[in-house]
Structure 1
Amino acid sequence: MFVPKYLVNCNAYQPSFQFPLCFSYEDVVEKDDISRTVKEVVEEVNIFKYIDFSQNNAHGYDAIQMFEAVILAFAINGYASLRDLEKLCKYDIRFKFIMNGSTPSHMAFERFIKDKLTMPIEDIFVDINKYIEAHDVIDTEVLYIDGTKFEANANKMTFVWMKATKKFREKR
């Protein structure tokens, strides 16, 4: 066997240094982040209304954490595909905080939504929004319909949207 000249006196042993990765996601996520709000709200609501705990599967993911991840994705994006949920759990620190470091696949989310949720996610999200509105100080008198951006000259678009806003409020 031919051994190159520069490898004659080499030692194959290379020391490895373990970087300690035991840290808590509690320290990383800010105190006023939406992920903490989602965790608090899910702890307060009747979770048995939304998740079917009658049959357990052996896939190993906590149903409450999966529920929190789905609600957080819906709150942030308005919609998240199953593959987006998988990517968020791998790379987003807020989802790592919610899932306690585990990274479910898109199929795990699909099984959870199909088998465990008792109602559509949109209805669950509406119920949770009503719960937040009832238990937190949220000013419901402020109504944003059009989705326009706020600019330095705030009265710039009032002639366009003011009539429509007043008409909508009268119809409510």
Structure 2
Amino acid sequence: MHKNILHGDYTSYRTIKQLKLPFEFEYHISADDPVRLVDTFVEEMDLSDLYKTYSRIRKNQATPAQLLKIVLYAAMNNIYSSRKIESACKRDINFMFLLEGAPAPDHATIARFIAIHLNACPRRIMSEMDKIL
């Protein structure tokens, strides 16, 4: 009896086996791309008020900082629908870059983030934006 045991870095589809390699987004995004500005911009902000709106943050999901990055970048690109943001997170390399390898959040998570967490501290975030700009 032959058992088909696959290594963790392989995927299997019927009889085809494919090696999974990590994808480095850094090399595919130019140095002057606006997505890098958003990433740096949010990293320099004090997001303590935003994090205080969470009772807990789950592992293996986008952090509040990553969600803020994708919401800001989506707004820069005239994307306001949480469903369209979700789709962009799954298809667009710039959104994947902002998520830093975290799985794409679903539209309900994005909508909750905007309605509950982001709306709880807009003054603080706007004042942080003024400091950086």
| TM-score for both structures, normalised by structure 1 | 0.57
| Alpha-carbon shift at residue 124 of structure 1 (Å) | 4.4
Q: Secondary structure at the match of 1:39?
A: helix
Tell me the equivalent position of 2:72.
71
Which structure shows the higher strand fraction?
2
Question: Is the aligned partner of 1:31 residue 2:36?
Answer: no
Write the distance in 2 (CA, Å) between the matches of 1:120 and 1:82: 19
Write the distance in 1 (CA, Å) between the matches of 2:84 and 2:36: 20
User: Are 1:73 and 1:80, in contact at CA under 8 Å, matched by a contact in 2?
Assistant: yes
User: Are 1:38 and 1:72, in contact at CA under 8 Å, matched by a contact in 2?
Assistant: yes
| Alpha-carbon shift at residue 53 of structure 1 (Å) | 4.6
> Which residues of structure 1 form unaligned runs of 5+?
1-13, 134-172
Q: 1:119-158 alignment to 2 at 5 Å?
A: 119-120=121-122, 124=125, 128=129, 130-133=130-133
The structure whose RCO (Cα within 8 Å, separation 6+) is larger is 2
1:57–1:44: structure 2 CA closer, same or farther, 3 Å change rule? closer
Deviations 1:37-84 (A, max 9, x none): 01111111212244435511548331110111011111222x511111
Deviations 1:12-44 (A, max 9, x none): xx7423143312111111111111101111111
- Which structure has the larger Rg over C-alpha atoms? 1
Q: Secondary structure at the match of 1:32?
A: coil
Write the distance in 2 (CA, Å) between the matches of 1:126 and 1:80: 22
Deviations 1:114-156 (A, max 9, x none): 23222359x946852x3443xxxxxxxxxxxxxxxxxxxxxxx
Write the distance in 1 (CA, Å) between the matches of 2:15 and 2:99: 33
Write the distance in 2 (CA, Å) between the matches of 1:15 and 1:76: 41
> Which residues of structure 2 form unaligned runs of 5+?
1-13
Write the distance in 2 (CA, Å) between the matches of 1:49 and 1:15: 51
Q: Specify the code of the residue in structure 2 equivalent to 1:114.
A: A
Give identity over the alignment, percent: 29
User: Are 2:46 and 2:128, in contact at CA under 8 Å, matched by a contact in 1?
Assistant: no
Matched positions, count: 117
| Alpha-carbon shift at residue 95 of structure 1 (Å) | 0.2
CA RMSD, 1 decimal: 2.7
Tell me the equivalent position of 1:139.
none
Q: Secondary structure at the match of 2:18?
A: coil
Q: Secondary structure at the match of 2:73?
A: helix
| TM-score for both structures, normalised by structure 2 | 0.71
